[in-house]
Structure 1
Amino acid sequence: MTMNILSIAGTDPTGGAGIHADIKAFSAMGGYAMAAITAVVAQNTRGVRSFVALDPSFVGDQIDAVFDDVRVDAVKIGMVANARIVETIAQRLYAHRAGNIVLDPVMVAKSGDHLLEPDAVAAISELLVPLATVTTPNLPEADVLLGTDAKWSLDAMRTSAVELRQLGSEWILLKGGHLHGSAQSVDLLHGPQTTIELSAPRIRTRSDHGTGCTLSAAIAALLPTCSVEDSARMAKAYLHGALAASEDLDVGHGHGPLHHFHQLWRELPRSLAELSGTGETTTTQSAEHGNSR
């Protein structure tokens, strides 16, 4: 049975982050993707220009429309914009008895632009974190949630993961991408009576837009059928592959997107040949753009 996964998040016109990244990650993990939009964001690979938060009641209507008709197997929460939207999301998810909730506490875009109004931080901590099966902050977000200004190291991450879990989330995945100076990118998965280090070789690329969205979305898509530990491990492996293949894309002039469908696209020529009945792979070229497909 295909799992139905709902993203509650903001938009990205260039397709690298927000609900666009979530939909791609859900699909790549074999899930059926759905989305309720919290904010419309004018951004590209270079940065955020502005955003408009939707009316909280309309956000609630979107969530209700999904739950009233579709079996929802997991929920990923991303950009929430303000406290009133946070309150609405929490109320609706509680009323619908939603499970397998992954919270990515989006606060700042890759460009450094803020995506969260100041009044929302306390609301996220008090209302959404306790609902979450897994909360996935990066190091700057962990500082905001804890009200600290940590000098980050792996030991500091271990201490902070414990403190973050005390806010109420069942599991914490503290992402170490901002911990520079190491050839490995280490995330800490902290849950009931266990802390697990998830490590992968660090990839040097500017095409890293939407990494947090993608990782949390992949975990959400896997949670209905896998343990939290297995979901986190597989999601990190998928993210590593999407980052490694990101240079195959040519999108924008800033922080480009990941290659969410790197595995599928490599199989496309053979799959299309099989569908056409030729049994052969071919390469076609667009006369207008000169792009190989």
Structure 2
Amino acid sequence: MNSSQQDKTDVQRRDPAPSRLAYKAHRLWLTPVFRAFLRVGLPVFAVLMATGWYLANPTNRYAIGEKLTNVKRSVQERPEFLVKLMAVEGATPVVDNAVRQILPIDFPISSFDLDLERMRVEIMKLDVIEDADLRIRPGGVLEVALTERQPVILWRHGGVIDMLDAGGHRVASLLDRSARSDLPLITGEGAADAVPEARAILSTAGPLRSELRGLIRVGERRWDVVLKSDQRIQLPADNPVAAFEQVIALHQAQDLIGRDLVVIDMRNPQRPTLRLGETAMNELRRINGVEIEEVSQ
């Protein structure tokens, strides 16, 4: 076989189509997911593997933590983030001092180290505080704006005198009633829960205001009005204000309180009952005795 015939035979045997492996590799390269994996996934995987290997060493982790902490502290302790003093607004000197004792802050301090919400919760534990607002003003000032409860009435219970606000919430305690003689006094079990009703009764006292000693809660359901002359006005559980106004009207018309009466029972407003004092009772007995003697004659 000559050379020309041999070349012809080789040409006939050579297959121009790619091999199966080459075909599959080419098809795989044309797949978008595979190409994205090679471009992105594989480098990311390599970086994660290297990072994991580096962080697996405790010394490396500690060094990184220390570095991050130092950077964080260097930022937090910059002058513009330092709080230098605290200003308490809307508080009396006593409350101001109490708040500063509750929040013993060592100035200067970074604003990042102040938990304003936790501090507000601590301040709100004071009975005298109705509301508190904390914020950091420009210039490094921690502003504590307070709203104090205003006492409107005194409640004597268990040998203690507490000042209450309009809602019956405790404000503070007193050692002596004379310290706040300008405030009316209530007493009795459950009196603090009925402060609005007690104030409504007191607001209608009118001409009897100067004669009032206080109110006594009876059975946790109704009030007795006690006067300085030790006279007592027993009010009903329902609509006590109207019953008290009725007593005041009778007093203005007939000087009811000026008479020798011990108790004015208004528990049934339709049938008021009067309990006479000892002098009036003796006089009534004397008059009745005279009448009986005249009848017998």
Bin the TM-score by the shorter chain.
Answer: under 0.3
Larger Cα Rg: Structure 1 or Structure 2? 2
The TM-score, its normalising length taken from structure 1, stands at: 0.21
- Which structure has more relative contact order (CA 8 Å, sep 6+)? It is 1
- Larger helix percent: 2
- Larger strand percent: 2
